[in-house]
Amino acid sequence: MASPRSILSSGALLSKRRLLPWCPQGQHQASLASAVEGNFTQAASEHSQGERKPQEGQPGQDLSFWQERLADQLLPLWRLNYDEQLKVKFEVTKKTLEQLQGRLHKLGAAVAEAPGPGALLQPFFPSPVIDGYRNKSVFSVNRGPDGHPRTVGCFLRSPGGKMIFCVPAGHLRTLPARHHQVAQCYEVFLRQTPRNPSLDIHQLGPWRRLRVRTSSQGHTMAIITFHAQGLSQGWPSLSTAPHFGSKQEDICSQKERAKEFFMSGQGSVCDLTSLYLKERVTPSPQQSCFHRYQLLAGEPHVFEDVLGLKFRISPGAFFPPNTGATEALFRIVAELGGVDQSTVILDLSHGTGVTGLSLAQRAAQVLSLRLVRQAVEDARWSAAFNEITNWECRQCDMEKAVNWLGKFRGDGRALMALVDPVGAGLPHRVIRAIRGCPAIQKLVFISGRPHAEDMDTFFQLCCPASSGPDLPGEPFTLSRAVPVDMLPHTLSSQLVLAFTR
């Protein structure tokens, strides 16, 4: 039987196994039944037996063929109705918790009193919006299925895996129409420059990835990645000045061309409120490159409403991709954490401070420790605008945060730790600091990878101190778990876990 980790890994249900795609409705039902019973290997087998094998990679395939392949790769559950999607996700989550409980049982650690994961695993909380829910999309530039080197879309590996190309992504069910419109206009912008016959797959020119961010307030931000060295890779120069410094003039000309196209030219139909350039900078051969954001036109930020609060979002800041589901997630966090006017929250999450600021409405005090750089400025602006006075941010690195945790005593107040590692993971020294802080009696963990990296974190939080010399303090007990569907049509979800001791 395939493990939950293998099922949820990026390739397990995509091109290699293709669980559920390309099969008739009857075959879908049979495959789903096997998946719900936990036999994912059997489900894949049943699917493949009834699958009509396409003529992959043969000349003459139309765009819809490649778009269907792209949808199956990025959204492996898109052919199922939404209730069936939640059933599949629930079973995977259930097996993840069973695996955790099994590991803890072997060490004699405390687990849920009632037998089985059903005692602690609550029903899936569905996404309020199922289609077009994404507030941020990322598009790449590469050769398309038709051979054009300046195609804007999402990466798809060719049959056999020998090459990667871009497929236009407007058909994807998660994508808002506005995002697709900006991507189409960006492709028009790229193709207006005469194509050099010598341009190959590794010579894409200076214009690269596109990110589009929208908000419920109607704001649209486009962020285009620009690599100046691409001007020397077969891309026609806009500057004819023969004197020294002409390359810098050419860079300025390219930026001005992008601004004119999107703000007053053909791209103005996108009605962008912000146009940014994300420029790759290499100071010298001895120094590593970095990226900086340059506002070409419009407002420097977009704004989003969450639970009655207004949040500022900078171009490089993280914000959850599904705003409606994020609101539901924060309500669940408050419930599982028992947050009330006597609760002090120690916020160890990343992002723009939206989690801690949202909970501040219910708590006595919120202290955010792990915000960095631009996220701090965004969070402080949002706190001031919403007149939140019981939230505090301490911009400190991981070492300082760990040292602060070691000294914190809580002063007898109810202290809840909130952990949301996003993509950064939770270092072992932070786990040790949390366990070694006796004031933390309750911990709420928001996990996007419960089957992978976070599984070891859960184990370290709950295993007895005797199982390892570097795990101080009293272990936690997992008391409840609520899965939230942040990304319909995919196998991903957020699992909110409540730990107590």
Q: Assign 309 a pLDDT band (cuts: 50, 70, 90).
A: very high
Given the candidates 3.30.1330, 1.10.287, 2.60.40, 2.40.50, the CATH classification of the domain at 136-303 is 2.40.50
Task: Look at 39 and 490; give whichever has higher pLDDT.
Answer: 490
pLDDT tens per residue across span 98-119: 988 888 888 776 665 545 555 6
Residue 45: name the closest of 53, 56, 37, 34 by CA. Answer: 34
Q: What confidence tier does 399 reach under pLDDT thresholds 50, 70, 90?
A: low
Q: Go through the chain and tell me how many residues it has.
A: 501
Contact 267, 183 (CB under 8 A): no
d(CA 220, CA 386): 22
What CATH number is given for 122-128+322-500 in this structure? 3.40.50.150
pLDDT of residue 199: 47
Q: Is the pLDDT of residue 93 over 60?
A: yes
Torsion of CA 231, 235, 238, 239, to 10 degrees: 50
Q: pTM of the full predicted structure?
A: 0.81
Cβ neighbourhood burial of 178 (10 Å; 0-12, 13-18, 19+): middle
378 labeled binding residue: no
Summary mean pLDDT of the chain:
80
Q: Which residues contact 485 (CB under 8 A, 6 or more apart)?
A: 85, 86, 89, 124, 125, 126, 127, 325, 493, 494
Spatial distance between the Cα atoms of 488 and 501, rounded to a whole number of angstroms: 34
- Give pLDDT, residue 436: 84
pLDDT for 23 equals 42
* Interatomic CA distance for residues 325 and 425, integer angstroms: 22
pLDDT for residue 248: 78
pLDDT at position 131 is 97
Instruction: List the domain boundaries for the chain.
Output: 4-81, 122-128+322-500, 136-303
Q: What is the pLDDT of residues 430-469, one digit of tens each?
A: 888 888 888 888 999 999 888 877 888 888 898 887 766 6
**pLDDT attached to residue 202:** 52
133-158: average pLDDT: 91
d(CA 499, CA 473): 14
With contact defined as beta carbons under 8 Å apart, do 481 and 121 qualify? yes
Q: What is the pLDDT of residues 261-296, one digit of tens each?
A: 999 999 999 999 999 999 877 666 666 667 789 999
pLDDT category of residue 246 using cuts at 50, 70 and 90:
low
Fold match between domain 122-128+322-500 and domain 136-303: no
